[in-house]
Structure 1
Amino acid sequence: MKHLRKLFLMMMMLVGMIVVAACGSDEITTDNGEEKIVVVTTIAQIADGVKNIGGDQVEVVSLMGPGVDPHLYKATQSDMKKLEQADMIFYNGLHLEGKMLEIFEKMNETKPTYAIAEGIDPSLLRDDMADATIIDPHIWFNIDIWQDALHEITVGLSEYDSENKELYEENEKKYFAELTELKEYAASKIQEVPEESRVLVTAHDAFNYFGAAYNMEVMGLQGLSTDAEYGLGDVQELVNVLVEREIGAVFVESSISEKSINAVIEGSKDKGHDVVIGGELFSDAMGEEGTEEGTYIGMYRHNVDTIVEALK
């Protein structure tokens, strides 16, 4: 009997340790216990920018990982704890994280909270073709505009930590030089695709900035937000375009179900026109952390290479 009681107590202690460990997973810790600025971001594209500009001075946490759709994302209790622990918060804005806006407004009352896209020159932003009152939030696909947005990170960090202002400015300069090389690579690579074949068809309108930057026509089944509904008429309209213009490849997105694009492929097939999936693109989310596609530059190069290989 004593043996069983002892075994029971040991099991209860083990369960308690597991629970404590699980609760502790919400805590933000810094490497080696160093004093760092704790920065929480929404999408990984912003997190990558903060890491490059902030360097060793920051500990960065991205709320939205691979395959996560920011248009539909709702903050969890764990997210709220991370936001409360943060020293600073950076998010995209322009209603990309539409279900979290009230949270950011509240957080801004107690700590620096930046919508990095909302300081961009309005003349550079693109309207929704269906509704001119809606601004396209997918600015990271135009590298020049994205640099303007990322500069807000440099400004924010410099205001919070003025002693390292020169460091942040120097890191920005180095990172922007890499982004300029990336832009030149993309422009050169896309030249391999014949002009008549530069048609990018995806599940939703995330690539309009990309298309404008590289003279590509872009078509999406859904609107700027995946929160928008699409119907049989939308599918049929896109099918007609694919058939009439003999477009042979469409693309899926890592953060969106393939269901909508598969409906377009099947509709085209019913009309005697074969369409293939040209590959998976990263639109609103990046790849797994620790991979090339888990960085902004790696994600962008992957998209360019995938598009060119399928369309050339």
Structure 2
Amino acid sequence: MIRLLATAALIGSLGAAHAQDRPLDVVATIGMIGDIATHVGGDCVEVTTIMGPGVDPHLYGASASDVRSFQSADVIFYSGYSLEGQLGEVLAKFAERKPTVALAASSIAEGDLIRTDGAYGIDPHLWMDAGLWSRIVPTIAETLSEARPDCAEGFGANAERYVAQLTALDAWVGDAIATIPSGQRTLVTAHDAFAYYGRAYGITVAGIQGISTEAEASVADIRASADLVAATGVPAIFIESTINPRTIQAVIDAVQQQGHDVRVGGQLYSDAMGADGTPGGTYIGMIHENTRTIVEALGGTPPPLPEALADWAEEWNLAKAAP
């Protein structure tokens, strides 16, 4: 009996040691969370992102493979405020069994949220403000530390370094937007995902569709957007990577019918990042590329990146940071 107990204890200790050796299985709903979890977690985590490039979270429904990913996860991160739509009930059930954290809701003060009419109540696109979104980083580090205490020191150091990068990015975006001539500082996009961006960086924002993409833009929406473009004289409007561009083309046609010209200024990342293995496939790159696209199309000149982003720029072979 003593030998059996000793064997069982040995097996148990070996199992615990193996659990500590393997990376934490972390599942994130969107890339803007998954990328940050990867940077904070380092070698101690393995991150799976449910919704990849070009995927609209407003319309997303859980697949059988998603449920299996949630089942095997040690930690689940999601944004919250109904962004994940149909995944909400699934995430609520998993919250009863394992660490399942709504990062936006648990990290960002209510006074900093943008409230809206309709079903959402809260605009869920908080990642568009890099300074605001940086507040989820400590929450990620704390959650991972609770699940893997032996890696806590590394999580903390990685989080501190990443927050410094986002702080520098936040300042750079503001400086870049300020170079747009004041009369052209209006951002017209396919849907209303850039309100936090506009508030943070001093640019007027108008989405043809509302916050959600569940309903098509109406004729009235298109007409109102065309009237705004014609009145302000902005030279460009923008398509989004997760939304069919036909509404943007409809606005362009309506503007031309009023005797004005406007062009597509480029594609912006709104509800999803870019392709894996590209700068836009990172959170920093998403905000950086959006800003360069907006500023250059509206007549501004983006400044060099700050020194705090030199390592990121070098990793992606981009222009050197400012001295």
Listed as ranges, the gaps of 5+ residues in structure 1 are 1-33
For the pair 1:60 / 2:8, whether they are aligned, the reply is no
Percent sequence identity is 44
Q: CA RMSD in A?
A: 1.3
State the SS of the aligned residue for 1:48: helix
- Give the letter for the 2:112 counterpart: L
For the pair 1:126 / 2:114, whether they are aligned, the reply is yes
CA distance in 1, matches of 2:120, 2:210: 13
Moved over 4 A (4+): none
Listed as ranges, the gaps of 5+ residues in structure 2 are 1-20, 300-323
> Normalized against structure 2, the TM-score is what?
0.84
CA distance in 1, matches of 2:90, 2:119: 26
Partners of 2:183 and 2:232 within 8 A in 1: no
How do 1:155-174 residues align onto structure 2 when only pairs under 5 Å count? 155-174=142-161
State the SS of the aligned residue for 1:71: helix
How do 1:273-312 residues align onto structure 2 when only pairs under 5 Å count? 273-312=260-299
Structure 1 partner of 2:96:
109
CA distance in 2, matches of 1:161, 1:91: 19
CA distance in 2, matches of 1:131, 1:70: 18
Partners of 2:187 and 2:205 within 8 A in 1: yes
Structure 1 partner of 2:59:
72
Q: Deviations over 1:281-302 (max 9, x none)?
A: 0011001111111111111110
Structure 2 partner of 1:96:
83
Distance 1:254 1:264, change over 3 A: same
Structure 2 partner of 1:139:
126
Higher deviation after alignment, 300-309 or 182-191: 182-191
How much has 1:166 moved relative to structure 2? 1.9
State the SS of the aligned residue for 1:42: strand
> Normalized against structure 1, the TM-score is what?
0.86
Distance 1:75 1:132, change over 3 A: closer
Distance 1:97 1:133, change over 3 A: closer
State the SS of the aligned residue for 2:135: helix
- Give the letter for the 1:126 counterpart: I
How much has 1:163 moved relative to structure 2? 2.2
Partners of 2:29 and 2:77 within 8 A in 1: yes
CA distance in 2, matches of 1:151, 1:73: 27
How much has 1:131 moved relative to structure 2? 4.3
CA distance in 1, matches of 2:32, 2:250: 30
Partners of 2:235 and 2:262 within 8 A in 1: yes
- Give the letter for the 2:184 counterpart: S
Q: Deviations over 1:32-52 (max 9, x none)?
A: xx6110001111010011001
CA distance in 1, matches of 2:55, 2:171: 29
Structure 2 partner of 1:8:
none
Partners of 2:191 and 2:212 within 8 A in 1: yes
- Give the letter for the 2:33 counterpart: I
- Of the three residues 232, 245, 268, the one matched with 1:245 is 232
Higher deviation after alignment, 36-45 or 178-187: 178-187
How do 1:120-269 residues align onto structure 2 when only pairs under 5 Å count? 120-128=108-116, 130-131=117-118, 134-269=121-256
How much has 1:227 moved relative to structure 2? 1.4
State the SS of the aligned residue for 1:63: strand
- Give the letter for the 1:182 counterpart: L
Higher deviation after alignment, 215-224 or 159-168: 159-168
State the SS of the aligned residue for 2:294: helix
- Give the letter for the 1:152 counterpart: T
Q: Deviations over 1:28-83 (max 9, x none)?
A: xxxxxx61100011110100110011111000000111100000011111111111
How much has 1:133 moved relative to structure 2? 6.7
How do 1:4-43 residues align onto structure 2 when only pairs under 5 Å count? 35-43=22-30
CA distance in 2, matches of 1:133, 1:123: 16
CA distance in 2, matches of 1:227, 1:190: 30
CA distance in 1, matches of 2:162, 2:175: 20
CA distance in 1, matches of 2:147, 2:41: 12
How much has 1:132 moved relative to structure 2? 9.4
